[in-house]
Chain A
Amino acid sequence: MSVENKKLPQSYYVPAQSPWPIVGAIALFFIAVGSGLTIMQLNNSNVSGVFLLVIGLAILFVMLFSWFKDVITESNNGLYSTQMDVSFKQAMLWFIFSEVMFFLVFFGALFYTRNLSVPWLGGASNNVMTQQILWPDFQSFWPLLKTPAGDTTQAMGWQGLPLINTLILITSSVTLHIAENAMKVNNRRKLQTFIGLTVVLGGCFLTLQVQEYIHAYTELGLTLQSGVYGNTFYLLTGFHGLHVTLGLILLVIVYARILRGHFNDQQHFALQAGSWYWHFVDVVWLCLFFLVYVF
């Protein structure tokens, strides 16, 4: 029995009471109401929504900072067993799975509009009469440059900025992988360099993405309002950009912690989680690059 017991998890750290969850709930409340009101007030000068949104984000920032601080302190004090590390890792993987499903919605919408609804509007399947009567001038092709309503736009090419961005993101995944391997052999100097490099590459990606949006809006006339081509383009790349931003924040936190001497070759969950997340947004980008830009 005693021999058996050594293999069992002897104690499990159940954290003491914490104020941060409910503070987080309050933050989300302000963010939800603030975002809702902001959007409802888009066409008037009322700024109460923006005000609430900013308050919400500020509370969320304080909450995340304090919550992370508590967790990091506990981790550094050695309160976490291997079992808890596994819990964290599993939770992160399931979270990434939920994100996959989120992106799947927009890829699904891209598939549906491109392969079903736009051809149907152009008279495919049994819709010949519908097209003849409703939109006789409409021609179905992808990218949808002229909508049934008559709005026109230009397509975004894949050469140029998107290709450069693809190379940047792939490189950043490689540098992050090198950093992770450096962690495993406790080569902190290399770790620090390559995490730093990844953060810089991520920053470059976002900057170029903004450039691309400006180019699309000012020169191509490709806007959020220009039919389903523009809709799927902006929602997919936009949510991807948001996720890159989130991944970048995680990596910056990891970088700051490395500077403070956190992590060792055995325990570096935050680094691993950040890295998984980064590889995930990279894979999403590759799908995006081929399905939205190239084909």
Chain B
Amino acid sequence: MDDSMYQQNDSAEHHQPSGIKRWLYTTNHKDIGTLYLGFSLLMLFVGGAMAMVIRAELFQPGLQLVEPNFFNQMTTVHGLIMVFGAVMPAFVGLANWMIPLMIGAPDMALPRMNNWSFWILPFAFAILIGSLFMEGGGPNFGWTFYAPLSTTYSNDNTALFVFSVHIMGISSIMGAINVIVTIFNLRAPGMTLMKMPMFVWTWLITAFLLIAVMPVLAGTVTMVLTDKYFGTSFFDAMGGGDPVMFQHIFWFFGHPEVYIMILPAFGIISTIIPTFSRKQLFGYHSMVYATVSIAFLSFIVWAHHMFTTGMPLAAELFFMYSTMLISVPTGVKIFNWVATMWRGSLSFEVPMLFAIAFIVLFTIGGFSGLMLAITPADFQYHDTYFVVAHFHYVLVTGALFSIIAAVYFWLPKWTGHMFNIRLAKTHFWLSLISVNVLFFPMHFVGLAGMPRRIADYALQFADFNMIISLGGFAFGLSQLLFVWCVVQCFRGGEKVPAKVWDGAEGLEWQVPSPAPYHTFATPPEVK
């Protein structure tokens, strides 16, 4: 390795800018990655605060704190913010930071467009959150905005929801194009596709899914807009349309979207597990093929969200079997992670703790998903808290835990400091316990028939709901430790070497910590 590899480009226009302009005008993938991650953390707390309102209201039966209409706005905006504002931008932030470092590229392929993608987001969410404070209130039809809730029965501010989703979509598409072009075109010489780190692979597939389905979301909201304001009847039987068509189109977007939020998580776990097992990832090739299969299957399973709409029997069966098929490639992944740990020299640093928790808890979410995939069983589970438990296990203990694991894993690389390990471990254990107190009992109230998205519930669910709410408050408060830990790490701490974790492999561990403002001005050679 020669040192010129890490040389900084000293030309006048490439000095590290300072002040506010650094962040507003930036074309640097690391700055933009930091912006994405910071924004996503902020949104996590905004969306989390809404979840706290929901759990406070559900602490006891009866209406205690908020009006049902406001409760509906909270569930809706909580979902929208967590999906589009917290999880997705966090993954894009990680992609921005890590993909160029992992593939030996100087930056993202289209650095200015990268900045545009980011800065659209704060404005989009300003519109969405702002509509909550307008006369008539914000969107109250659930994040899935089913017709006719969003067309006939929604408030007049729905147009703002539609256009904020439109510009979020523009941002996502541009971000995804950037990632895909970077991966295809900017890999260091010698890094063939089958030598790419798993995180890069999963993001390549994710970016493809984003480009394929975000336009579908744009089309859906457009039809909602014209149905509501311009008298079209796409989702209205009076004019020849069908409200069920809304669900078909929405979930054609919605199901790949679910994998958009989990594939990068698979990539992260596939990076962390080998590092702390001090072994190569077991079955790299099968991991790649599993990722591709999951992406392919994600396009042919959408109607498993709609088993109770009265579809023809053939459709019910097709979507049941295709959905169950997904457990095969997912099972391959889980197997490979466990096999990677098998006989490895394991050590349990904080990222590893979160990664192992991910494997166990995500698998629980996967199994409840398999239960939901069984059509006749789904007739019972549909729209109950069992569904809420299922998707929070895959999105909170799945996607969010992987993001936290990734942050602990790469934070020393970003800041040059080791975080406070005691504090981070406290954060882990508190999160692990509280998140299960929060979501596990939801399975039971769901199976017992408690419907989701309703501000009140029958008395027999009272005890469980109190426990769930307590778990929720504890989980919410625990995340403050995370913020504290991250802030501390940025401000100082024990210096770390280039290769922070002794089992870590990849180009990103060959650049110094903290990673210099510009890396790989000339591409490294990968053997």
Chain A residues proximal to chain B, CB less than 8 Å: 4, 7-12, 14-22, 24-26, 28-29, 31-33, 35-37, 39-40, 42, 67, 83, 86-88, 90-91, 94-95, 97-99, 101-102, 104-106, 108-109, 112-113, 116-118, 120-121, 125, 134, 144, 147-149, 151, 224-231, 235
B510 within 8 A of A: no
Other than the known A14-B9, A97-B212, A117-B245, what 14 A-B pairs have Cβ atoms closer than 8 Å?
A: A9-B523, A14-B14, A14-B106, A14-B111, A19-B24, A22-B25, A32-B160, A67-B112, A87-B110, A87-B181, A91-B110, A224-B226, A228-B241, A230-B232
Q: How far is the CB of B103 from chain A (nearest CB, A)?
A: 12
Chain A positions within 8 Å of B170 at CB level: 28
Contact of B215 among A32, A90, A105, A121 (CB under 8 A): A105
Chain B residues proximal to chain A, CB less than 8 Å: 9, 13-14, 17, 21-22, 24-28, 105-107, 109-113, 115-116, 119-120, 122-124, 126-127, 156-157, 159-160, 162-164, 166-167, 170, 173, 176-178, 180-181, 184-186, 189, 211-216, 218-220, 222-223, 225-226, 229-234, 237-242, 244-245, 248-249, 252, 312, 518, 521-523
Interface of A is mostly: helix
Chain A positions within 8 Å of B111 at CB level: 14-15
Q: List 29 A-B contacts (CB under 8 A).
A: A12-B186, A14-B9, A14-B14, A14-B106, A17-B26, A18-B27, A19-B24, A21-B25, A21-B116, A22-B115, A22-B119, A28-B170, A29-B126, A31-B163, A32-B127, A32-B166, A39-B229, A40-B156, A42-B229, A94-B177, A95-B173, A98-B215, A105-B218, A105-B223, A113-B241, A147-B238, A147-B239, A231-B233, A235-B222
Q: Bound state CA distance, A8 and B229, in angstroms?
A: 55
Chain A positions within 8 Å of B226 at CB level: 224, 231, 235
B176 and chain A: residue at smallest CB distance? A94
Q: Please state if A17 and B17 are interface contacts (CB–CB under 8 Å).
A: yes
With a 10 A CB-CB cut-off, give which of B159, B160, B178, B252 has the most chain A CB atoms.
B159
Q: Please state if A28 and B120 are interface contacts (CB–CB under 8 Å).
A: yes
A130 and chain B: residue at smallest CB distance? B237
Chain A positions within 8 Å of B239 at CB level: 147-149, 151, 226-228, 231
B130 and chain A: residue at smallest CB distance? A33
Q: Please state if B27 and A229 are interface contacts (CB–CB under 8 Å).
A: no
Q: How far is the CB of A30 from chain B (nearest CB, A)?
A: 9
Q: Please state if A17 and B231 are interface contacts (CB–CB under 8 Å).
A: no
Q: Bound state CA distance, A242 and B167, in angstroms?
A: 17
Chain A positions within 8 Å of B237 at CB level: 117, 121, 134, 148
Of all A-B residue pairs in the complex, the 5 with the closest CB atoms, nearest first, are A105-B219, A25-B119, A21-B116, A117-B242, A102-B215
Q: Please state if A98 and B214 are interface contacts (CB–CB under 8 Å).
A: yes
B240 and chain A: residue at smallest CB distance? A228
Interface of B is mostly: helix
Q: Bound state CA distance, A63 and B116, in angstroms?
A: 11
Chain B positions within 8 Å of A108 at CB level: 248-249, 252
Q: How far is the CB of B382 from chain A (nearest CB, A)?
A: 21
Q: Please state if B185 and A228 are interface contacts (CB–CB under 8 Å).
A: no
Q: Please state if B164 and A32 are interface contacts (CB–CB under 8 Å).
A: yes
Q: Please state if B242 and A120 are interface contacts (CB–CB under 8 Å).
A: yes
Q: Please state if A17 and B211 are interface contacts (CB–CB under 8 Å).
A: no
Q: Please state if B223 and A104 are interface contacts (CB–CB under 8 Å).
A: no
Q: Please state if A90 and B185 are interface contacts (CB–CB under 8 Å).
A: yes
Q: How far is the CB of A294 from chain B (nearest CB, A)?
A: 20
Q: Please state if B25 and A224 are interface contacts (CB–CB under 8 Å).
A: no
Known: A40-B157, A117-B241. A224 touches B123 (CB 8 A): no
Q: Please state if B159 and A35 are interface contacts (CB–CB under 8 Å).
A: yes
Q: Please state if A19 and B240 are interface contacts (CB–CB under 8 Å).
A: no
Chain B positions within 8 Å of A151 at CB level: 239
B26 and chain A: residue at smallest CB distance? A17
Q: Please state if A147 and B233 are interface contacts (CB–CB under 8 Å).
A: yes
Q: How far is the CB of B342 from chain A (nearest CB, A)?
A: 40
Chain A positions within 8 Å of B116 at CB level: 20-22, 24-25
Q: Please state if A86 and B185 are interface contacts (CB–CB under 8 Å).
A: yes
Q: Bound state CA distance, A201 and B26, in angstroms?
A: 41
Chain B positions within 8 Å of A91 at CB level: 109-110, 113, 177-178, 181
Contact of A228 among B115, B222, B234 (CB under 8 A): B234
Contact of B21 among A17, A25, A31 (CB under 8 A): A17
Q: Please state if A21 and B107 are interface contacts (CB–CB under 8 Å).
A: no
Q: Please state if A101 and B212 are interface contacts (CB–CB under 8 Å).
A: yes
Q: How far is the CB of B87 from chain A (nearest CB, A)?
A: 21
Chain B positions within 8 Å of A113 at CB level: 234, 240-242, 245
Contact of B120 among A9, A25, A134, A226 (CB under 8 A): A25
With a 10 A CB-CB cut-off, give which of B25, B156, B157 has the most chain A CB atoms.
B25
Q: Bound state CA distance, A26 and B193, in angstroms?
A: 38
Q: Please state if A17 and B214 are interface contacts (CB–CB under 8 Å).
A: no
Q: Please state if B240 and A18 are interface contacts (CB–CB under 8 Å).
A: no
Known: A17-B27, A117-B241, A147-B238. A40 touches B184 (CB 8 A): no
Q: Bound state CA distance, A99 and B216, in angstroms?
A: 10
B232 and chain A: residue at smallest CB distance? A231
Chain A positions within 8 Å of B178 at CB level: 91
Q: How far is the CB of B25 from chain A (nearest CB, A)?
A: 4
Q: Bound state CA distance, A14 and B234, in angstroms?
A: 46
Q: Please state if B189 and A101 are interface contacts (CB–CB under 8 Å).
A: no
A16 and chain B: residue at smallest CB distance? B13
Q: Please state if B234 and A17 are interface contacts (CB–CB under 8 Å).
A: no
Q: Bound state CA distance, A21 and B31, in angstroms?
A: 14
Known: A109-B234, A225-B232. A39 touches B25 (CB 8 A): no
Chain A positions within 8 Å of B219 at CB level: 102, 104-106, 109
Chain B positions within 8 Å of A147 at CB level: 233, 238-240
